Amino acid sequence: MKKPLSIIFFACFVLISSVAAFAQNTEIYRVGVGDVLDIRLLNSANTNSTLFTVVANGVIELPIAGGAIKVAGLTTEEIQTRIAAELKRRAVEENAKVSVGVRQYVSHAVTVTGLVVHPGTRFLRREEVPLYVVLAESQLRADGQRVAIMRGDRPAQILDLRDPATLNTHIQSGDVITVSSRPEEFYFIGGRVNHPGQKPFTQGITLLQAILASGGTPRQASLVEISREGTDGRLVTIRFDVKEIKSGNLEDPKLLAGDRIEVGR
C-alpha cells in the first residue's frame, strides 16, 4: 500500500528540521546559571566592560536597565536585543548598542573519567560539541580504545574509538564520558587446520589470514564455513571456497569477533 505524498513530504520535513536543529546546536551557546557575562554599552560615555554573573534564578543584576534581567536560555545576541529594548523602554538610551560576550563558561559541563591524562569536569562553549573536542582537552591515553557515554537515564552508549565516526559523536551538557580499554576478543577455528582453537581477534583480519595464523590447511581442503550470531542471537552460517578467494574470484571476507570458522575438505 502506497503512502500518501503528504505523509512522505511531512516525514521529510521533520527529518530535515531535526538535522538542521542538530547542526545548529554546534554553533550556538545558550547562557546558563554560573556563566559570567561581559556587557558593554558601545555608544555610552563609559565603554568599559562590566562583568555580570548569572545567578541561581537565571538573571543578572543590571542597574542601568532597572535591575534583574532574565538571561538564562538565551544566546548572547538575544541578550543584547533584550537589554537594548529595556534601555529604550526606560528612556535610558533610544538606540543603545550593546555588546554581550561570555567571559567564563560554567553552566555547560561534562564529566570525563577513565583512560585519559586529565580526567574531571570539562566546560562546553556550545550547546553540543564533537567528542574529539572533549578528548583533546582531556588527552586520550594510548590504551583508551572505547568510550561509554551516559546521558540522563538512558542506557550507556558504547562506542569504538577505532571508528572515525565515534570522534564526531555530539556531546551535550550533563554527559558522563568514560574511556576504557577494549576487552580482549577472539575468533574460533577448527577442522582441517594445523593449529585449531581460540585465537586473538584483530580488527580487519580476513579469512585467509586467520587460516594462515592457524598453520594453514592441507592442500585438498577448500571449503570453509563461517558461523556468527545474527540479530536474533541465532547462528548464521556462510560457506566460502578458499580456492575461489585465492584466485581473486571472491573477496577475502573480513572476520568479526566471535566468529566460528570450520575448515572442511
Confidence of residue 163 (pLDDT cuts 50, 70, 90): confident
Ordered by start, the domain boundaries in the chain are 36-104, 109-180, 186-263
**Is the pLDDT assigned to residue 47 strictly greater than 70?**
no
Q: In the CATH scheme, what architecture does the domain 109-180 have?
A: Roll (3.10)
Q: Do 36-104 and 186-263 fold alike per CATH?
A: no
Per CATH, domain 186-263 is 2.60.40? no
Give pLDDT tens digits for 133-162. Answer: 999 999 999 999 999 999 999 999 999 998
Mean pLDDT rounded to a whole number for the chain: 87
**Is the pLDDT assigned to residue 102 strictly greater than 90?**
yes
> Residue 37's beta-bridge partner residues?
52, 102
- What is 138-187 written as a DSSP string? HTB-TT--EEEEE-TTSPPEEEETTSGGGGG-EEETT-EEEEEPPPP-EE
Query: 136, 137, 146: which is closest to 114 by C-alpha?
Result: 146
CATH top class, domain 36-104? alpha beta
Confidence of residue 16 (pLDDT cuts 50, 70, 90): very low
CA 194 remoteness from chain centre: 44
Give pLDDT tens digits for 34-46. Answer: 999 999 888 766 6
Range in 48-57, 101-110, 122-131 the model is least confident about = 48-57
- 97 vs 131: which has the higher pLDDT: 131
Confidence (pTM): 0.67
pLDDT at position 76, please?
95
- The CA dihedral of 65, 70, 71, 73, to the nearest 10 degrees, is -160
Can you tell me the mean pLDDT for 236-264?
92
The percentage of the chain sitting over the pLDDT mark of 90, rounded to a whole number, equals 63
Give pLDDT tens digits for 76-96. Answer: 999 999 999 988 887 777 778
pLDDT at position 42, please?
81
